[in-house]
Chains A and B, each alone.
Chain A
Amino acid sequence: MQPLLECRNVNYSYHTEQGETHALSDISFQVEDGEFEVIVGPSGCGKSTLLSLICNLLVPESGEVLLNGKPVGEHMDFHIGYMPQKDQLFEWRNIYGNVTLGLEIQHCMTADNIQFAEKLMKEYGLWDFRHVKPSQLSGGMRQRAALIRTLVLRPSLLLLDEPFSALDYQTRLSVADDIYRIIKKEHKTAVLVTHDLAEAVSMADKVLVLSSRPARIVKELPVFFDLPERTPMESRNAPQFKEYFNQIWKELSTYAQE
């Protein structure tokens, strides 16, 4: 079966007058439809760069990014949702305005799409806050609004760039649960980037371990928990959790040295 997303021998360097920074080196991996892939690596190794390449904000220097077997630049109808590190909700818009921002930009404020946006807001508890400014919401609710903002455009693939790193630890655990639940319920394929190993193991179907710069893939580890209804919180309590954690820890500490 054709993978939803495939990176083939992707290389990328940043150029400045001070010199060249080799960020990604020969990255190849595949993500199947419906899979939750987590990319872990030391800080500053090029994880975010990889996401920018996948959603075509950057173009690889060599290699290819394929979506359903077609290069990413050639797609017209394949939408990739991107969830940034901080929620980036606009303070000058209320929640409704923030959630429908994508529709507005793409000029598709059709009755059908608006109905879909409103359905999502109702389903995920944002409806009562639709006239409220982002600053009046809690960190968790803001993150949820940011996710709905990307889901409104019906993305075939979701990219999450350390979406919980700006939250305090406790909120982080519950928001991770919340976001995971929504993604699974909407049957989305997701690629999440993080430097938090526990977070990676708790959410992933497959973990991709990157080395420090220039980032290479040092390990691809499928994660499976024998749980009837898996959530990140349940996974953390499962007996296999520690095993996976230690395995990734070992890889990272071997390859992540400066």
Chain B
Amino acid sequence: MRRNNLKADSLQDISVLQREFLEERSRHRVFVKVMRIALLIAFLGLWEAATAYGWIDGFIFSSPGRIVRTFVSMVKDGSIFEHVGATLIETVASFVLVVIVGLFCAILLWCSDKLSEILEPYLVVLNSLPKSALAPLLIVWLGANRTTIIVAGMSVAIFGTILNLYTGFREVSQDKMKLIYTLGGKRRHVLTKVVLPSTVPATISIMKVNIGLCLVGVVIGEFIGARCGLGYLIIYGSQVFKLDWVLMSIVILCIIAMALYALISAAEKWYLKRI
């Protein structure tokens, strides 16, 4: 293994065919990157041109230029920070709560086979329920406030989290659990020494999905029960026909989703390198 790497490093002593192969691979990678960026530029350019030449109505479809101008003006009057900040705080809060509540419930289910058997059909139903249906209910029950939005964010992710974590816990090898018992351990040692540490990678990848789901839930909550936030901006913008606001919010949501995902991926990489 190490020898191969050394060979690849010094280009002199690799064979002609291997060099051709490596060059082909790097050409391929460059091509893919260039095409990705070109596609984005082409899309934005076409959009801008279409509105500039009047092929589509810029008032309804907005345009990259209008989005940027809207963004700049909202940065100047500071209102954008309020909206982005609200959505971010609510998303992170619901994500943290999902992690805590999800882990707690999954551990509880793991501790009692009877309980998990009894609750299984209910969890499955709740998980497959379209959570946006709950949002109007939450508004009525909890009021139009931040709590409602955080709960709406949680509602999208929590049931899937519990089910997936529990499944992960159940997949821990029987032999490893047996080992703990032979070393004089009890069931709680099995949990703390085997089940939890061995499922950390699976838990992180569940969380990677969750952060996106929480964002979805928070935006749904903001649609109907908020005075600020990107979800509010989208709904309000569409009602007063400020579609620049709507599209700008969507672009910002894309960026937030990507950034949060990247953050958890970084945590995952850090963990995998550490073990």
Chain A proximity of B24: nearest CB distance (Å)? 33
Asked if A57 contacts B275 (CB within 8 A), the reply is no
Say yes or no for A219: interface residue by CB 8 A criterion: no
Cα distance A82–B184 in the bound complex, in angstroms: 10
Looking at the assembled complex, report how far the CB atom of A186 sits from the nearest CB atom of chain B, in whole angstroms. 18
In the bound assembly, the distance between CA atoms of A90 and B179 in angstroms comes to: 11
Do A57 and B181 touch across chains, with their CB atoms under 8 A apart?
Answer: yes
Size bracket of the B interface: 10 to 19
Q: Is B180 an interface residue, CB under 8 A from the partner?
A: yes
Work out how many contacts link A and B, with CB atoms closer than 8 A: 50
Interface segment among A29-37, A100-108, A223-231: the answer is A100-108
Q: Which chain B residues lie closer than 8 Å to A149 at the CB level?
A: 183
State the interface size on chain A (CB cutoff 8 A): 23
A88 partner residues in chain B, CB cutoff 8 A: 175-176, 179
Determine whether the beta carbon of A153 is less than 8 Å from that of B175: no
Interface residue A84 (Cβ < 8 Å from any Cβ of B): yes
Nearest residue (CB) in B for A80 is: B182
Using an 8 Å CB-CB cutoff, how does the interface string of A63-80 with B read, 1 for contact, 0 for none?
Answer: 000000000000000011
The reply to whether A105 and B189 form a contact with Cβ atoms under 8 Å apart is: yes
Pairwise interchain contact A57-B182, C-beta atoms closer than 8 A: yes
Residue of B nearest to A105 (CB): B185
Contact between A90 and B175 (Cβ–Cβ < 8 Å)? Answer: no
Q: Which residues of A contact B275 (CB under 8 A)?
A: 91-92, 133
Residue A85 lies at the interface, judged by CB distance under 8 Å to chain B: yes
Are B175 and A79 within 8 A (Cβ)?
no
Whole-angstrom CA separation of A91 from B180 in the bound complex: 15
Contacts of B200 on A, CB cut-off 8 Å?
92
Does the CB pair B197–A90 fall under 8 Å?
yes
Residues of B within 8 A of A (CB): 175-176, 178-185, 189, 193-194, 197-198, 200, 275
Residues of A within 8 A of B (CB): 55, 57, 79-82, 84-86, 88, 90-93, 101-102, 104-106, 133, 149-150, 153
Could you give 19 example pairs across A and B, Cβ below 8 Å? Answer: A55-B182, A57-B178, A57-B181, A81-B182, A82-B179, A82-B183, A85-B175, A90-B176, A90-B197, A91-B275, A92-B275, A93-B197, A101-B183, A102-B183, A105-B185, A105-B189, A106-B183, A133-B275, A153-B184
